[in-house]
């Protein structure tokens, strides 16, 4: 698919930057006509990079790297895959048509190589965003149990390399809060305050996570500071939860030191049980 060359005769062709802007405008018009949902979101710096690559190299196929960069930017901005591919089809239709009239973008008519490169680049960012979303509990902001399972795998592997049980080096401090008598906003507030207490006490590299709707935990080294951490955690929980009468009436949170089992698989089962309360 060749891009029509611009002649540089005296006064009969616009400068290169005018040609680039013209291509950009035609592409935008075709993309909006193909169903781009929010016109104000279409323009990105990567769009200009694609246009420049196409104009410089003469073929859209040669702009594959720039198109991949645009696909990643589209994914980061929240554009869906179907919308991103339709935008690519709009560019292909504009260049394939060659004139200034109406074009009809067709994803099926777009070269498979460009579709594949665009889709893979979009997926790289989209999957990464999904992973980061899933490992964070939306209420407390703490990492999820999936994160703690991964962290425990590292702990068990390191302990095995030293030929020692993981339970000799780490312990789980688990906090559970009985919210069965609490409803509405205070119920949400309770776990937010519990998470804040954990972050305040375990602020030097320990792994903290949300295990369930009313259970959080910290994976801490098993040393002389375990007892003092437990005392500090109980104090921090009391200071935060006592400011709300409904949470105070719900009873004190239960803080317990839980020994790690023999294997990582057993530890994952343990987290699942703890998360159910």
- In terms of domains, do 171 and 263 share one? yes
- In terms of domains, do 81 and 167 share one? no
In the block, which residue shows the tokens 């405008």? 25
Among 133, 168, 185, identify where a domain stops.
Answer: 133
- pTM for this model (two decimals): 0.53
Q: Domain total for the chain?
A: 2
Segment 81-116, tens digit of pLDDT: 999 999 999 999 998 876 566 788 899 999 999 999
pLDDT score of 5? 44
Distance CA 246, CA 224 (A): 35
pLDDT score of 6? 43
Question: What's the angle, vertex CA 208, arms to CA 207 and CA 213, rounded to 5?
Answer: 155
Range with the lowest mean pLDDT among 5-9, 58-62, 205-209? 5-9
Q: Rounded to 5 degrees, what are φ and ψ at 2?
A: -90, 145
pLDDT score of 177? 85
**Pairwise pLDDT comparison (184 vs 24), residue with the higher score:** 24
Host domain of residue 161: 145-275
- In terms of domains, do 114 and 163 share one? no
pLDDT over threshold 60, residue 133: no
- In terms of domains, do 85 and 178 share one? no
**Segments of the chain assigned E as strands:** 170-176, 207-212, 215-221, 254-259
Radius of gyration of the chain (CA): 28
Evaluate whether residue 3 is within a structural domain: no
pLDDT over threshold 60, residue 2: no
Distance CA 165, CA 263 (A): 9
Q: Report the CATH number at residue 234.
A: 3.30.70.270
Segment 139-172, tens digit of pLDDT: 788 898 988 999 999 999 999 999 999 999 999 9
Among 110, 133, 156, identify where a domain stops.
Answer: 133
DSSP letter string over 226-246?
HHHHHHHHHHHHHHHHTTSHH
């Amino acid at each position: 698919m060749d891009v029509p060359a611009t002649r540089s005769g005296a006064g009969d062709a616009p400068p290169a930057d005018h040609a680039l802007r013209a291509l950009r405008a035609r592409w935008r018009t075709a993309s909006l006509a193909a169903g781009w949902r929010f016109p104000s979101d279409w323009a990105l710096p990567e769009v200009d990079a694609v246009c420049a690559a196409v104009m410089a190299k003469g073929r859209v196929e040669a702009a594959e790297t720039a198109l991949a960069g645009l696909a990643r930017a589209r994914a980061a901005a929240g554009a869906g895959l179907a919308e991103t591919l339709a935008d690519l089809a709009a560019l292909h239709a504009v260049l394939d048509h060659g004139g200034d009239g109406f074009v009809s973008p067709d994803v099926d008519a777009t070269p498979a190589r460009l579709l594949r490169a665009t889709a893979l680049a979009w997926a790289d960012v989209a999957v990464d965003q999904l992973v980061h979303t899933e490992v964070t509990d939306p209420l407390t902001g703490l990492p999820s149990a999936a994160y703690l399972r991964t962290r425990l795998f590292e702990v068990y592997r390191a302990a095995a390399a030293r030929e020692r049980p993981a339970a000799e080096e780490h312990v789980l401090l688990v906090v559970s809060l009985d919210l069965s008598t609490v409803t509405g906003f205070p119920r949400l507030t309770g776990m937010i305050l519990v998470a804040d207490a954990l972050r305040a006490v375990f602020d030097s590299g320990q792994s903290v996570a949300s295990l369930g709707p009313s259970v959080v935990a910290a994976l801490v080294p098993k040393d002389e500071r375990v007892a003092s951490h437990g005392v500090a955690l109980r104090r921090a929980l009391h200071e935060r939860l006592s400011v709300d009468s409904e949470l105070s009436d719900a009873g004190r949170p239960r803080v317990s030191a839980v020994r790690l089992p023999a294997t990582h698989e057993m530890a994952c089962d343990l987290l699942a049980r703890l998360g159910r309360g």
